[in-house]
Structures are given as C-alpha cells and as structure tokens.
Amino acid sequence: MSILGIIASRNRPRTFFAAVGYDSADASLSTDGITWTTKTLPASRRWCGITFGDKFVAVAGIDLATNGAASSTDGSTWTARTMPSSALWTATAYGASIYVAVAQGPSTTGASSTDGITWTARTMPASADWMMVRFGNSIFLAAAYVGTAAATSTDGITWTSRTIGVDKNWRGMTFGDGKFLLVGTSTNAAISTTDGITWTNGTVSGSTTANNIASAYGAGLFITANIGTTAASSSSDGVNWTARTLPSSSGWITATFADGKFVLLATATTSAATSTDGITWTARTYSSAAGGYSVTYG
C-alpha cells in the first residue's frame, strides 16, 4: 500500500450499528452489535425508522411533529430536521443517491431528500398505511401494513402502484439475494418479489403467535423473529423456513446484518441478540430501556 493509501485508511470513518428508540430521545451506537452506548436524539418522539446513506437519517411518527426527523454524520451527535408535513412517518430508506420516507394514515404522504437534511413532499400512488420501504435491484419498494398496497420507484420521487400477491397484515421487510421479503403479523405468511410486480409465497414455520416483524438477510439466508415469543426462522430462499430459538422472549422488532453478524433488537426492553449464522443466537444487552425500534449499519 502506498503512503497515500495508508493515510486514507487511517482517516477513514469508523462504521457503526445505530438504532433509535420508540417514545424516547434515545439512540444507541455500537461498533460490533454487542456492546451499545446510549446517545441523545433532538427530542423524545416515536422514532420509527433509521437508515444510512452518506449519514444516519431517522424519522419519527405518530406524534405529528413537523420536525420529526434527525440526521447525524457519526451516530453520536444528532441534529433535528424538518419533514415537509406533519405526518405519521414510519420508515426511511436510502438508494440511488436519495433518501425516501413513507407515512401511515392511511395517506398518500411521502418525502425525499438528496442530503437527509432538506426534505421535499412526494405523493404515493394510493392512500394506504405505508409502513415499510427498502431499496434493492435499482428500485425502492414500499408496502402497506394492511392489505395488498405496494409501490415502486426508480428515483424515490415518482411512484407506481403495485399489488402484493396476498392480502395480509405485513410488518417486516428486508432485501437480500436479489429479492425483497415481506413477513406478516397474526399469520405465518411470507412473500417475496424481485420487482414488486410478481410475488412468490412462503410460510414461516415454528411460530406460535406468528407476529413476524424483525427480518434481515445475511450469511446466505433470511431470518425473521416473532414479537413476544422465542421463535425465529431462517431460510435461504424466503419460501422454505426452519424454526430457530432465540435466547429470550421479547418484543423483537428490528434486525440487520453487517460485520459478519445478525443483530436483533427488541422494543421497550434492553434485550438484544446476535448471531453469525442466523441459527444459533447469543443474548446481548441493549443500552436503553426504551429498546431499539429500528436499526441500521453505516
């Protein structure tokens, strides 16, 4: 490595797991997904989503706050930002050099930002309880909590209406292995798509209450966890699933994969868990009693 390469390597920013909590001003930061340190968001709100592009960006919902957003370059110091309307902002994602956010309502409310600081109002193609949004295969895919409403966008600005193949209560979405995966609450349903148009059904096994919310992809498989139970499942294709066991019964609600491990967090508790293979899980301790409602890596 050249001298310039060594200098660049030394100056490269560290990467972190970062999470935000619900009904609190707590954010948390971890270099390894195991040991967490509490940080402070600009206000106590129902922070529902966090993502990373060139910075960490979080959005808040339910409390109708016009400044229901925040950004941070390091995950430690956060600055309040203003969304374009007082909406129930539920999720955010980054891709194609743009941040997007969606909101519940039901509503047609959406937003986009090129820098995670200044947001512009956008219009979703249907009035729905937009709960999830992810980026993959060069498109954004948004999905509603109830029913079959979905939408795709190549630029995060103009959205096209799509229809989920099964009418269920969808609550968890992730992207991996070239496909988007949705898992449902109060049902064993799982469904996947590469483009938001054609859908493939699956069934999550080993679930007692089937409230699948947390989901992620890594190490060649998908995982999902059930809120309030000890059940978790994994699959390599999103169709065929195997029951797994978590180290405790908690309100598991968000997951991600990075740095060679899955990280799973629960809401309203300090429960956390990690796994390198999605099969065997180890109990960890989260730094805030508010728990982690949404987690990302960047």
Q: Is the model's pLDDT at 44 over the cut of 70?
A: yes
Position 251 in a domain: yes
Binned at pLDDT 50, 70 and 90, residue 80 comes out as very high
Answer yes or no: is 290 within a domain: yes
In a domain, 71, yes or no: yes
3 state SS of 10: helix
Q: 6: pLDDT confidence band, cut at 50, 70 and 90?
A: very low
Mean pLDDT of 43-63: 92
Q: Is residue 2 part of a domain?
A: no
Task: Map tokens 């029951």 to a residue.
Answer: 243
pLDDT of residue 62: 64
Measure the CA–CA gap between 17 and 56, rounded to whole angstroms. Answer: 10
Q: Is residue 9 part of a domain?
A: no
- Is the pLDDT at 190 greater than 60, yes or no? yes
Cβ atoms within 10 A of the Cβ of 121, count? 12
Q: Predicted confidence band at 65 (pLDDT cuts at 50, 70, 90)?
A: low
Q: How many CB atoms within 10 Å of residue 198?
A: 10
Residue 67, pLDDT score: 72
Tokens of 92: 């955010």
Predicted confidence (pLDDT) per residue in 256-278, tens digit: 999 999 999 999 999 999 999 99
Of the two residues 243 and 291, the one the predictor is more confident about is 291
For position 19, what pLDDT does the model report? 98
**Which contiguous run of DSSP H or E holds residue 270?**
none
Mean pLDDT of 189-197: 95
pLDDT tens-digit map of 128-155? 999 999 999 999 999 999 999 999 999 9
In the predicted model, what is the mean pLDDT of the chain?
90
Residue 8 within any structural domain of the chain: no
Question: In whole angstroms, what is the distance from residue 245 CA to residue 112 CA?
Answer: 38
What is the per-residue pLDDT across 222-238, written as a single tens digit (0 to 9) for each?
999 987 666 677 888 88
DSSP letter assigned to residue 178: T
Asked if the model's pLDDT at residue 9 lies above 90, the reply is: no
Select the more confidently predicted residue: 119 or 12.
Answer: 119
Helix, strand or coil for residue 189?
A: strand
Region of poorest pLDDT, from 179-183, 213-217, 240-244: 240-244
Distance (Å, whole) CA 100 – CA 94: 6
- 260 within some domain: yes
Beta carbons within 10 angstroms of residue 102's beta carbon: 33
222 within a domain of the structure (yes/no): yes
pLDDT computed for residue 66 by the predictor: 65
Number of domains forming the structure of the chain: 1
- pLDDT of residue 7 exceeding 90, the answer is no
CATH number at residue 39: 2.130.10.10
pLDDT at 12 over 50: no
SS3 187: coil
- The number of angstroms, rounded, from the C-alpha of 1 to the middle of its chain's C-alpha atoms is 37
Q: Where do we find the tokens 């065929």?
A: 240
- Do 142 and 156 meet the contact criterion of CB atoms below 8 Å apart? no
Q: How far apart are CA 162 and CA 153, in angstroms?
A: 10
Q: Which domain holds residue 239?
A: 17-297
Residue 56 has pLDDT above 90, yes or no: yes
Alpha-helix runs per DSSP H in the chain: 3-11
For 64, how many CA atoms within 13 A lie in the half-sphere containing its CB? 1
Look at residue 4 in the predicted model and tell me its pLDDT: 34
Is the pLDDT assigned to residue 46 strictly greater than 50? yes
Using DSSP's 3-state secondary structure scheme, residue 174 falls into: strand
Residue whose structure tokens are 């908690």:
250
DSSP string, 36-92: -EEEEEEEEEEEEEEEESSSEEEEEESS--TT-EEEESSSSB-EEEB-SS--EEEEE
> What mean pLDDT comes out for the span 71-77?
97
Asked if the peptide bond before residue 106 counts as cis, ω within 30 degrees of 0, the response is yes
The string of DSSP codes covering 224-249 is EEEEEEEEEEEESSSSB-EEEEEEEE
